[in-house]
Structure formats: C-alpha cells, structure tokens
C-alpha cells in the first residue's frame, strides 16, 4: 500500500529563484512528522506546493498513491489533506461558525453540500466538542477573536473537511506559550484518538520534536537531515542551529 503522502523530488521556483530544490518525503497514515528549518528554507513553499496552492516546477505529489501535482487546492482537500495556514488566515468578517462551515463546503462544493447537510452538522458538533471555545464564539466575527482563538478556528475549519492529514504551518507563530501548549496537547490527542496524521511545519524545533515522531530538516530548499526526533535532537548540528546551542545556522 502506498503512503498517505508521498513527495518525490519536488522543486518550486519563483522566477529564477529556487525555493524548494528536489525534496522527497513520505508520511504514513496516522503519523506525526515535522518539517523544521530556518526562515526562508522553503518550508512554506513546500507545503503550499503539496496543498496545490503553488504549481511545482518539477517532481510529483501523491496522496494515497493518487497523483495531485498541480491539480489545485480543491483536489487536495477532497483527497483528505487540509492545511492550517501560516498566520491563521481566517475569514475575518464572517462569524466563527461560518468559517467552520466553509471548511465543509470547500470539500463538498455547492452541489453536494445540501445532501451532506446531516454529516456537516454532525462534524460541526464534533469540532465543538473538541474545541468547546469555538461554540462559545460561534456568532462572533473571526476577526474579533484572539490569536489563539483564530488558530482554533483555522484548525476547526480544516477539520470540517474531515481530513486524514492535517498540515499545519507555523502553529506557534505569534501565540503565547501557554496557548501553544494547549494546542499541542489538542493536536496530540486528535492524532492518537482520531488517527489524523500531522505534518507540522515549524521554526520552533523544541515544539516540533516534542510533538512529532519524525522530522525533516530543510536548509536552503533541500532536505539536509531526516530521522526520528530523538535522534535529531541529539545531533550537534541540529542542537546548535535549532535548539539554542549558540552557534550560527551557517555551521550546519
């Protein structure tokens, strides 16, 4: 059986600049995998190419063995991969509940949405059970909630599509440490109890290693290291560059 997500020799270019340079990675069902690296290493570009927002210059992306390279974000969502984007990107003027419902609508499209009504309601209740704060805020415009609450909206919106893989870009960015702790615990239970696989893109390597079993290290568009989090944590180069070892990134 093929892996849930397979990325093969993926290259992303902006004009002549190469953002992702032939990266390959794989993620099995129910796995928790991190993608770490400094700012500008190409993590977000890689994620956006996987999610169909960017057309890669080369390589292929397959979900469940089905190729989705360049098929657009809708196809990726329908195959069960949803993204929680960097900086949340909620729909600020819409109420929290509408934000969530659009997550379901994005997967069904206009024609199958009415038929899937019961399932959508049920999923909404499940999201409210998982993230009770969202039910309290259901009528409030998402733009008038706190950063941590917006991150919950973005996660809830992605869950409304019923994903098998949740791709999260910079979970911790701009959030208070205690909020990040709560969200991390939530993602762990989501993975363990509901079997949703996680692909976590993070600058914060501590967080990434704590939550994920495996990690890839991206540097200047290339995957320079890969392995179990515990092993990577012990490596000098990783410790120096990402875990506050004191040496500059260039030494890696």
Query: What is the contact surface with other proteins in residues (CB under 8 A)?
Result: 51, 53, 55, 72-74, 76-78, 82-83, 85, 89-94, 98, 101-103, 105-107, 109-110, 113, 157-158, 161
DSSP string, 21-73: EEEEEEE-TT-EEEEE--TTSSHHHHHHHHTTSS--SEEEEEETTEE-TTS-H
Distance, in Å, from the CA atom of 220 to the CA atom of 105, rounded to the nearest integer, reads 37
Which token pair is 194? Answer: 């509901």
Nearest to other proteins of 51, 212 (CB atom): 51
Nearest to other proteins of 74, 195 (CB atom): 74
Nearest to other proteins of 43, 107 (CB atom): 107
Shortest Å, Cβ 93 to other proteins? 5
Nearest to other proteins of 47, 207 (CB atom): 47
Q: How many CB atoms lie within 10 A of CB 224?
A: 15
Shortest Å, Cβ 247 to other proteins? 36
> Within 13 Å, how many C-alpha atoms sit on residue 175's CB side?
25
Shortest Å, Cβ 145 to other proteins? 14
Nearest to other proteins of 88, 214 (CB atom): 88
Sorted by sequence, the CB contacts under 8 Å of residue 22 that are 6+ apart come out as 9, 10, 11, 58, 59, 222
Nearest to other proteins of 79, 217 (CB atom): 79
Shortest Å, Cβ 48 to other proteins? 9
**In 3D, which of 145, 112, 113, 144 has the Cα closest to residue 131?**
145
Q: How many CB atoms lie within 10 A of CB 179?
A: 18
Shortest Å, Cβ 28 to other proteins? 24
Shortest Å, Cβ 77 to other proteins? 4
In the 8-state DSSP scheme, what is residue 249?
G
User: How would you classify the pairing of strands 165-169 and 5-14?
Assistant: unpaired
């Amino acid at each position: 059986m093929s892996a849930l997500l397979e990325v093969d020799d993926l290259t992303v270019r902006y004009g002549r600049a190469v953002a992702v340079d032939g990266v390959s990675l794989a993620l099995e069902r129910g796995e928790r995998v991190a993608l770490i690296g400094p700012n500008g290493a190409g993590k977000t570009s890689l994620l956006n190419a996987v999610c169909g927002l960017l057309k890669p210059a080369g390589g292929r992306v397959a979900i469940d063995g089905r190729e989705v390279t360049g098929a657009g974000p809708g196809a990726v969502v329908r195959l069960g991969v949803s993204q929680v984007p960097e900086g949340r990107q909620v729909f600020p003027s819409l109420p929290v509940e509408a934000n969530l419902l659009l997550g379901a609508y994005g997967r069904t499209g206009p024609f199958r949405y009415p038929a899937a009504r019961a399932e959508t309601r049920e999923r909404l209740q499940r999201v409210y059970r998982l993230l009770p704060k969202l039910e309290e805020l259901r009528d409030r415009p998402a733009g008038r909630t706190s950063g941590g609450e917006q991150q919950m909206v973005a996660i809830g919106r992605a869950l409304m599509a019923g994903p098998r893989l949740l791709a999260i870009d910079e979970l911790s960015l701009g959030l208070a440490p205690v909020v990040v702790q709560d969200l991390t615990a939530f993602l762990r239970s989501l993975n363990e109890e509901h079997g949703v696989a996680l692909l976590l893109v993070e600058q914060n390597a501590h967080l990434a290693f704590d939550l994920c079993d495996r990690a890839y290290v991206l540097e200047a568009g290339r995957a320079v290291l890969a392995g179990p989090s515990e092993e990577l944590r012990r490596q000098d180069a990783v410790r120096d560059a990402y875990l506050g070892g004191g040496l500059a990134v260039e030494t890696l």
